[in-house]
Amino acid sequence: DIQMSQSPSTVSASVGDKVTITCRASRSIGSWLAWYQLKPGKAPQFLIYQASHLQSGVPSRFSGSGSGTEFTLTISSLQPDDFATYYCQQYNIDPRTFGQGTKVEIK
């Protein structure tokens, strides 16, 4: 199975800050990477596919980059609605695997 790791596990930030989350794959997955946002009690939200393509309706302050084994999710100016946990997921091969999550919390 492909192992996915994220860093940091927690980031403390303020509204307006730029936040960057890193995701690494144990072997190359090309650009087959997605990012999701999870909040307690709510349906997870799909943010980015194929490493850098923004899902329709997702605010442009979210962006993704990378290929191969290293990827990043960037929130250019953190908004109150962005405090959540973010997960990367590889879909290059089954079984789909996820990173362990990065919690973005209020500083």
Partner 1 sequence: QVQLVQSGAEVKKPGASVKVSCKAYGYSFTNCDINWVRLAAGQGLEWVGRLNPNAGHTDLTQKFQDRVTMTMDTSTSTAYMELRSLRSEDTAVYYCARGSPIVEADVDYWGQGTPVTVSS
**43, 60, 80, 81: which one binds partner 1 (CB under 8 A):** 43
Q: Is there binding between residue 29 and partner 1 (CB under 8 A)? A: no
Cβ neighbours of residue 56 closer than 8 Å, sequence gap 6 or more:
none
Closer CB to partner 1, 16 or 42, in the complex: 42
State the number of binding residues for partner 1 (CB under 8 A): 25
Query: What is the rounded CA–CA span in Å between residue 58 and residue 55?
Result: 6
Q: Is there binding between residue 86 and partner 1 (CB under 8 A)? A: no
Do 46 and 55 form a contact (C-beta atoms < 8 A)?
A: yes
DSSP reduced 3-state for 80: helix
53 beta partners: 49
**22, 54, 98, 103: which one binds partner 1 (CB under 8 A):** 98
Tokens for 94, please give them.
Answer: 């089954």
Tokens for 69, please give them.
Answer: 């084994």
Specify the stretch interacting with partner 1 by CB under 8 A; choose among 11-19, 31-39, 60-68, 70-78. Answer: 31-39
Question: Contact positions toward partner 1, by CB under 8 A?
Answer: 32, 34, 36, 38, 41-46, 49-50, 53, 55, 87, 89, 91, 94-101
